[in-house]
Amino acid sequence: MLEFSDYVTILRRRKGVFLIPALLVLGICVAVALGIPAVYESRATILVEQQEVPADLVRSAVGSYAGERIQILSKRVMSSTNLRRIVERYGLYPAADGEPSMASRIERIRENTALELISADVVDPRSGRPSKATIAFQLGFAYPDPVVAQQVTAELVSLFLDENVRQRTRSATEASRFLAQEAEGLKEEVSRLERRLATFKERHIGSLPDMQQLNLQSIERVERDIEKTDAAMRSLQDRIAYLRSQMARMPSHLPGGMDLAGGASERLGVLEAEYTQLSARYSASHPDMVRLSRELAALRQEVGEGGDLGQLQRQVVETAAELARLEQRYSAEHPDVKKQRRALEAARQQLVQVQAPAWRSIPVVAGSDNPAHVQLQVQLQAAELDLRSRKQQRERLLEQFDEVERRLATAPQVEREYRELDRDYEQALEKYREVKAKQLEADLAASLEKQNKGERFSLLEPPLVPERSVRPNRLALLFLGVVLSLGAGLGSVAIAEGANHTVGSARELETLTGMPLLVVVPHIATAQELQRQMKLRRGLAILLLLFGVIAVVAFHRFVMPIDAFWYAVEHRLELGR
Pairing status of strand 39-49 against strand 130-143 = antiparallel
**CB proximity list for 146: less than 8 A, separation 6 or greater:** 40, 42, 465, 466, 467
Please report which helix (H) or strand (E) contains residue 348, including its range: helix 335-355
Residue 402: alpha-carbon gap to chain centroid: 52
504 Cβ contact partners less than 8 Å away, ≥ 6 residues apart: 9, 10, 13
User: What is the CATH topology of the domain spanning 37-251+434-471?
Assistant: Bacterial polysaccharide co-polymerase-like (3.30.1890)
Domains of the chain, by residue range, sit at 1-36+478-522, 37-251+434-471, 252-426, 525-577
Backbone phi, psi, residue 58, to 5°: -135, 120
Q: How far apart are CA 133 and CA 417, in angstroms?
A: 54
SS3 of 180, please? helix
All residues at 6 or more sequence positions from 261 whose CB lies less than 8 Å from its CB, including other chains: 360
Closest to 283 in 3D by CA, of 345, 325, 226? 325
Contact 159, 432 (CB under 8 A): no
b/e 184-204 (16+ beta carbons within 10 angstroms → b): eebeebbeebeeeeeebeeeb
Residue-wise pLDDT tens for the chain (577 aa)?
A: 556 666 676 777 777 777 788 878 888 887 777 777 778 889 999 888 776 665 555 565 555 677 788 888 888 888 889 999 998 888 888 764 455 688 888 888 999 999 988 887 776 666 667 777 788 899 999 998 888 999 999 999 999 988 888 887 887 788 888 888 888 888 898 899 888 888 887 777 777 777 777 777 888 888 888 888 888 888 888 778 777 777 776 666 555 444 444 445 556 656 665 665 566 566 667 777 777 777 777 666 655 544 455 566 566 666 766 776 777 677 777 777 777 777 777 766 665 555 444 333 334 444 455 666 677 777 788 888 888 888 888 888 888 888 878 877 777 787 788 888 888 888 889 998 888 888 887 777 777 667 666 677 888 889 988 877 787 777 787 788 888 888 888 888 788 777 766 666 666 667 777 777 777 777 677 888 788 778 877 877 887 788 777 777 766 666 666 776 677 777 677 765 5
Q: Which residues contact 330 (CB under 8 A, 6 or more apart)?
A: 336, 337
* H-helix or E-strand spanning residue 417: helix 371-450
Secondary structure (DSSP) of 297-340? HHHHHHHT---HHHHHHHHHHHHHHHHHHHHHHS-TT-HHHHHH
Percent of residues in the chain assigned helix, strand, coil, to nearest 5 = 70, 10, 20
Which run of H or E residues covers position 60? none
